[in-house]
Amino acid sequence: MHIVTGGGTGIGRAVATALHRQGHRVLVTGRRAEPLAEVARASDGEITAVACDNSTPEGVRAMLGAVEGGVEGLVHCAGGNPAIGREAPASLEDEADLLAETLAGNLTSAALTVAALDDRLAPGGSIVLYGSIAAETGVGYYGPAKAAVSSYAVGLADRLGPRGVRVNCVSPGYVAETEFFRGRLSADREEALRDQTMLGRTGVPEDAVDLTLFLLSERARHITGQNLHLNGGAHTMR
């Protein structure tokens, strides 16, 4: 079975849909029931949806309860930047809350999801964790949280390698057609993000689908412990 956390919208939804079209059994998670129900409906009920918070032990237990058999692929898309659309912290307590929430949503969710599924990971399996260009460019606490995700992927790849399980991090630049900015991205800012790419194009979920499906496949058999940048040249890693 393949599991896509954050599979109700954006990149996760596109990945889950593509995996389902390839004939895989797919389970998606997210905190809100409605987008998940829509994904399940669009697949005629063939995609299993579990509404849960992947950053909590009870949430990942709920996910685990719906997992059937071994896990060949895990794509961890759950995450985001809770600072978007939120007032700047006005107290140390607010600051601590924002930091904790950002780390929980991105790093803790990855770690607990993997921990819950650990003994279900099938030999030959592949894990893709979603990082971000923000790890390199620095965006509040979101960038550091995504840097932690890509670092976590390296140690995890080292630990799971002997079991024949590969782990990679995909770090996109701006990807349109997602709920990431919650409708708050101005046309000017969107144009500026496009202009930062070398290709002069905006990323779309299908770009992430193609790379993710490759990393999940046998064709990527010698690729593990890597952070793959998917940004149209908006930031180089030389």
Ligand X SMILES: NC(=O)c1ccc[n+]([C@@H]2O[C@H](COP(=O)([O-])OP(=O)(O)OC[C@H]3O[C@@H](n4cnc5c(N)ncnc54)[C@H](OP(=O)(O)O)[C@@H]3O)[C@@H](O)[C@H]2O)c1
Catalytic residues: 132, 142, 146
Residue 78 contacts ligand X per CB under 6 A:
yes
Q: Which two tokens stand for residue 9?
A: 């919208």
- Site size toward ligand X, by CB under 6 A: 29
Residue 141 contacts ligand X per CB under 6 A:
no
Q: Minimum Å distance from CB 80 to ligand X?
A: 5
Residue 79 contacts ligand X per CB under 6 A:
yes
Which member of 1, 2, 4, 9 binds ligand X (CB under 6 A)?
9
Residue 116 contacts ligand X per CB under 6 A:
no
Residue 132 contacts ligand X per CB under 6 A:
yes
Q: Which two tokens stand for residue 130?
A: 């979603």
Which member of 3, 8, 207, 228 binds ligand X (CB under 6 A)?
8
Which member of 3, 4, 12, 160 binds ligand X (CB under 6 A)?
12
Q: Is 84 exposed, middle or buried (0-12, 13-18, 19+ CB in 10 A)?
A: middle
Residues 39-68 contacting ligand X, CB under 6 A: 53-55
Residues 146-205 contacting ligand X, CB under 6 A: 172, 174-175, 178-180
Q: Minimum Å distance from CB 187 to ligand X?
A: 15
Q: Compute the distance between CA of residue 31 and CA of residue 2 in angstroms, rounded to an integer.
A: 18
Q: Which residue is nearest to ligand X (CB)?
A: 10
Quickly tell me which residue has 């999940």 as its tokens.
216
Quickly tell me which residue has 């057609």 as its tokens.
177
Residue 101 burial (CB count, 10 A): 19
DSSP reduced 3-state for 188: helix
Residue 30 contacts ligand X per CB under 6 A:
yes
Give the distance, in angstroms, between the CA of residue 38 and the centroid of all CA atoms in the same chain. Answer: 19
Q: Is 21 exposed, middle or buried (0-12, 13-18, 19+ CB in 10 A)?
A: exposed
Residue 11 contacts ligand X per CB under 6 A:
yes
Sheet containing 121-130: order of strands: 48-51, 26-30, 2-5, 71-76, 121-130, 166-172, 227-230
Please, which residues bridge with residue 166 across strands?
126
Question: Would you tell me which residues interact with ligand X (CB under 6 A)?
Answer: 5-6, 8-12, 29-32, 53-55, 77-80, 105, 109, 130, 132-133, 172, 174-175, 178-180
